[in-house]
A = this chain, B = another copy of it.
Amino acid sequence: MQLNLSTWCEVKDYLKTQKDIIIPIGSMEQHGPMGFIGTDSICPEIVASGISKTQNVLIAPTIPVGMSQHHLAFPGSLTLRPTTMIAVIKDIILSLTGHGFTHLFFLNGHGGNVASIKTAFSEIYAEHSLSNKPSSVHLDLYNWYDGKRVEEIENKYFKDVNGSHATPSEISLSFYAHPDAVKKAELSPRVAPTNQFRDCFDFQNNFPDGRIGSDSSLASIAVGKELFEAAVQDALEIYKQFINNKP
């Protein structure tokens, strides 16, 4: 059930029996010469969509732009400042809790978002703790690629060259989601270097074509399909724990 395509009456009905919602959150940032700029939004969006096919759960619209300051030297990358992102997440959480939602599951596609999302959660909780008003909201953050089934597939196909940005894993999944838009590119070197990074200029110095430690050329729609099924199972498992274990 997509919030986007529901009416308020349908959401009202949904809330009579359940109070949980999945919020895909991604980014709009370069993913090397072959990867879509929207990779990190496309992936959690399709995984959420997969979940909603086996589980009756409401899916919020994907938050499309994340914390991607380090990618700004590559054309087309967009970022929110971390403090802007905190404000966005806070307003969305307040909107949802106002309707009675109690379990909000942020299904994330971008490692660079993690600290900002967690900080937004703490900002919300701090507001309650400082004003002596207990909160009824449960907030969880899960990266679609963090489950064991996904890891197995990554190890099977991309061992050692999955890297940490523009990975063949995430590119496969995004290709599976958008088969008509699949790209090809000569990668040189095949496997990108690894390193730390600071601002976008430092990032570009370290990673001239935008990839970190990955060989994106191994990406395929076929592996994307396997990853999709694995990621849906992984996320579903975590999601069920989330809505069951917490009162």
Contact status of A91 and B75, CB under 8 A, knowing A7-B33, A118-B115:
no
A198 / chain B contacts, CB cutoff of 8 Å: 125, 135, 137-139
Please tell me the number of chain A residues within 8 Å of chain B, measured between CB atoms. Answer: 93
Kindly identify which residue among B6, B82, B125 contacts A199, using a CB–CB cutoff of 8 Å. Answer: B125
- Tell me if B69 and A9 are in contact (CB < 8 A): no
Q: A69-B129, A91-B81, A91-B130 are in contact. Are A7 and B183 (CB under 8 A)?
A: yes
* Per-residue interface assignment for chain A, residues 37 to 67, with 1 indicating a CB less than 8 Å from any chain B CB and 0 otherwise: 1100110000000000000000011111101
Q: Are A122 and B115 in contact, CB atoms less than 8 angstroms apart?
A: yes
Chain B neighbourhood of A64, CB < 8 A: 4, 61-64
Tell whether A15 is near chain B: CB-to-CB under 8 Å: yes
Q: Nearest chain-B residue to A197 (Cβ)?
A: B125
> Contact between B76 and A3 (Cβ–Cβ < 8 Å)?
yes
4 more contacts with CB within 8 A, not counting A65-B91, A75-B100, A137-B198, are: A80-B87, A84-B88, A125-B199, A128-B201
